[in-house]
Structure 1
Amino acid sequence: MATNYSNPILEDQIDQFLCDENNLLIKLDNKKLIDQDMAIVVEQAIQKKQCTYLDLQDNEITSEGMPILALALSENSKLHTLYLHDNHLFDKGIYSLAQILTSNNHTLKILGLNSIGLTDVGAEDLAVMLQKNRTLTHLQLQANEIDNRGILYLAEALTKSNTTLEQLELAENKLVNDSSVDLLVEIIKHNRSLKVLNVRLCNISDSGKTKLQAATEANKDLQLML
C-alpha cells in the first residue's frame, strides 16, 4: 500500500461521529472504501476515537486491507462490534482476523461476515478460532459459499470446545444440504451457550428440517430458524 495515500473526506466523516454515554458508533458502510483506507480507519476510528461499534459493510475492501485491521484488534480493548459484510474478503482476508481473535483479542463480541465469498477454508480458520476464543457471542456468516465440510469444522468447535457463542447465522449458504443435518443436530443437542441458530434458505430438505426441529426438544433454550 502506498504510504503517501490520504483521504480527507474519510477523515472528516470519522471526525463527525460523537461519543454517546461511552459508546461510539462509527458507520462507514457503502462509502467505497478501499484497502488503503484501512490505515485511516484504524488510526482515526479505532485508535483515536476508540469506537465501540464499527460498520464497514458494503465497501471495496479486499484481503489486502485486512491485516492492518486485524493487527489493530490485537491492541484494542474498546471495539465490541465489527461488520464487514459485502466486501471482497474471501478466505484469505479472514485468516489474519481469525488468528488475532484466537488469542489476542478479548473485547470483540459481534462479528459480521455475510456475503464475503467465504468457503470451507475460511470456515475452518473461524472454527479454530472458536475453539479458543471466549469473547465472541455473535458470528454472522450468511450468504457465503460454506458447504458441508465447513459445517463439520464449525460443529467440532461448537460441540467440543466453545461455550460462549450465542448466535450463529448460516442462512443462504446454498451448498449446505442434508449431509449437514446430523452435524447441526449435534450442535443443537450438545451446545448449551447457543441461543440462535439460523439455517434459513440453505439447501436442506423438508425431512432434514423436521429432524432439526425435533432435535430442539433436547434444547429448549435454542431458537432454530429454518
Structure 2
Amino acid sequence: MTDGKAVSAILRFRDYTNNCLRLDFYGMGDNLIELLSSVLQRNQTIQHISLITNKIGDRGAQVLASLIKDSKMLISLDLRSNHIGDQGANYLADALINNTTLTTLKLRGNEIGPSGTKYLIDAQKNRTVSPC
C-alpha cells in the first residue's frame, strides 16, 4: 500500500471508539509509526493493536515502546513479520518491565537474534505485575 493510504487509515483512528486496531499489510515504516503513536496517545480506548507485515524497524519499536511504557489500556500488540532487530527488542523489553496491562506481545518473523531474545526473556522475568 502507499503511504497515503496508510496515513489515511491512521488518521481515521483519532476518534475510533472500538478497542481493536488492525493495520496489517500497510507497509508502514518507522516514520508512519511515529504518526500512529501520536494518534494513539490521544485515544484511550484501544486495547489491541495489530501491525502484522509492515516495515517497522528498531526506531519504530522504540516509538512503540514509549507507547507501551505509558499505556494503561493496551492489552495486546502484534508486531509479527516486521524488521525489528535486537535493539528494537531491547526497547520493547525495557517498556515491558513496568507495564502491567500488556499481556500479549507477538514478535515472530522479525530479525531478533539471541541478544534480543535474552532482553525479552529477562524483561518477562522482572515484570512488575499489579495484583488488581
Give your verdict on TM over 0.5: yes
TM-score range, shorter chain: 0.7 to 0.9
Q: Is the 8 A contact 2:6 2:26 kept in 1?
A: no
Match of 1:192 in 2: 100
1:172 aligns with 2:81: yes
For residue 26 of structure 2, what is the amino acid of its counterpart?
I
Asked if the contact 1:111/1:136 (under 8 Å) is kept, the reply is: yes
What's 1:141 paired with?
A: 51
CA–CA distance in structure 2, aligned partners of residues 216 and 91 of structure 1:
34
User: Quick check: 1:91–1:121 contact (8 Å CA) kept in 2?
Assistant: no
Which is richer in helix? 2
CA distance in 2, matches of 1:154, 1:216: 17
How far apart in 2 are the matches of 1:99 and 1:215? 32
Counterpart residue type for residue 165 of structure 1: L
Q: CA deviation at 1:211?
A: 2.1
What TM-score, normalized to structure 1? 0.52
Work out the CA distance in 1 between the residues paired with 2:109 and 2:45.
Answer: 28
What are the ranges of 5 or more consecutive residues in structure 1 without an aligned counterpart?
1-87, 222-226
1:213 aligns with one of 117, 121, 129 = 121
Cα displacement string for residues 153-189 of structure 1 (whole angstroms, at most 9, x for unaligned residues): 11112213x211111001111x211121221112211
CA contact (8 A) 1:176 1:202 kept: yes
Aligned to 1:132: 42
Check the 8 A contact 2:79/2:107 in 1, yes or no.
Answer: yes
Distance in 1 separating the partners of 2:8 and 2:25 = 18
Larger Rg: 1
Contact 1:91–1:119 (Cα < 8 Å) also in 2: no
1:99 Cα deviation after fit: 3.1
- For residue 61 of structure 2, give the secondary structure of its aligned residue in structure 1: helix
Identity %: 28
Maintained 8 Å contact 2:68/2:96? no
TM (norm. structure 2) is 0.86
User: The residue matched to 1:200 in structure 2 has which SS?
Assistant: coil
Q: What one-letter code is carried by the residue in structure 2 that aligns with 1:184?
A: L
Deviations 1:173-211 (A, max 9, x none): 1x2111212211122112222110111121011232122
| Higher RCO (Cα < 8 Å, 6 or more apart) | 2
Match of 2:8 among 80, 93, 96: 96
Shift of 1:220: 7.2
